[in-house]
């Protein structure tokens, strides 16, 4: 029953109970920014769920060329570190659980591609991927790596730096650096309406993709939430759907989440340690 085991203290018995849930059939995993923090990509929120930084709003991005130049200048710098990120232990353990048949598909709210890099299959990128860029004017698409090369050619000697990186590859830069940056143009139509193929703050996930994720949720014997505070409806709706259907919901992450009252099992802790414990318990169960 939802709320039956939502305490912060996790014991070996907790992980054995979760392993028993997973032994009944491959769980659908729903992952958030907490999956990638150990890869050097911090999330937007602190442990208390408070937003540390506010990403660029979609309306701001589409509203002016100045905003798009600001975004691409910051993203150009941030891409150096973002693209260098590698899967961490938690990503590897999700793949391991897939190989054992205890995790099936993965719905990720992340845009970093690290689940796939770790070998996970059946990954649905709910918020898109930074690896692709789309022109809002004509629909042309381009690989982000190719665009990065073009931006380097258009901005020789641009050496602005930042000690910050965000989940969408953005960083903070001084305005003087932004003003010196020449924004990229679409190779097909020449517009500056190039946008990373991700859901911006203020945007929405395409309805067919949402319906697909609902179908995955409804078909899954359990839902395993990893590294998400579920602060936005984008992910919380799937937890609510699972709970409504009486599907077991397991949440493993640091800090409180908006889905805690719907969880049948709740672990408040680091993903690598918790998933290691779950893998050990799973070996004992089956």
DSSP per residue over 75-107, as a string? HHHHHHHHTT----HHHHHHHHHHHTTSEEEEE
Asked if 127 is an active-site residue, the reply is yes
Smallest CA-to-CA distance from 104 within 3, 270, 222 is with 222
pLDDT at 169: 47
Q: What percent of the chain shows pLDDT beyond 70? A: 86
Instruction: Select which of 91, 96, 127, 265 is catalytic.
Output: 127
Binding region for Zn(2+): 135, 138, 186, 189
Region 194-204: mean pLDDT is: 94
Q: What is the mean pLDDT of the chain?
A: 88
pLDDT tens readout for residues 51-84: 445 678 999 999 999 999 989 988 888 888 788 8
pTM beyond 0.75: yes
* 123 neighbors 108 (Cβ within 8 angstroms): yes
Binding region: 135, 138, 186, 189
Q: What superfamily would CATH give domain 12-285?
A: TPP-binding domain (3.40.50.1220)
* HSE toward the beta carbon, residue 81, CA cutoff 13 A: 19
pLDDT-derived band at 38 (thresholds 50, 70, 90) equals very high
pLDDT tens readout for residues 117-154: 999 999 999 999 999 999 999 999 999 999 999 999 99
């Amino acid at each position: 029953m939802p709320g039956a085991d939502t305490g912060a203290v996790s014991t070996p018995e907790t992980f054995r109970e979760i392993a028993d849930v997973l032994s009944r059939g491959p769980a659908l995993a729903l992952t958030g920014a907490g999956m990638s923090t150990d890869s050097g990509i911090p999330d937007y929120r602190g442990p208390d769920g408070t937003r540390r930084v506010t990403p660029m709003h979609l309306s701001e991005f589409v509203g002016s060329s100045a905003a798009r130049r600001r975004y691409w200048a910051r993203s150009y710098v941030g891409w150096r570190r973002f693209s260098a990120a590698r899967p961490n232990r938690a990503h590897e353990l999700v793949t391991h659980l897939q190989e054992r048949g205890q995790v099936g598909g993965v719905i990720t709210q992340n845009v970093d591609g690290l689940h796939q890099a770790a070998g996970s299959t059946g990954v649905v990128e709910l918020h898109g991927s930074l690896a692709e860029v789309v022109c809002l004017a004509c629909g042309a698409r381009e690989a982000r790596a190719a665009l990065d090369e073009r931006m380097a050619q258009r901005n020789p000697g641009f050496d602005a730096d930042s000690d910050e990186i965000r989940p969408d590859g953005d960083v903070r830069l001084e305005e003087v650096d932004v003003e010196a940056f020449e924004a990229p143009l679409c190779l097909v139509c020449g517009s500056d309406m190039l946008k990373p193929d991700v859901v911006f703050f203020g945007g929405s996930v395409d309805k067919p993709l949402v319906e697909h994720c609902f179908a995955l949720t409804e078909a899954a014997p359990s839902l395993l939430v990893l590294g998400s505070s579920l602060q936005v409806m984008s992910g919380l709706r799937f937890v609510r759907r699972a709970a409504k259907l009486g599907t077991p919901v397991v949440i493993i992450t640091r800090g409180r989440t908006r889905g805690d009252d719907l969880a049948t099992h709740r672990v408040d802790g680091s993903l690598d340690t918790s998933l290691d414990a779950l893998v050990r318990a799973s070996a004992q169960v089956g």
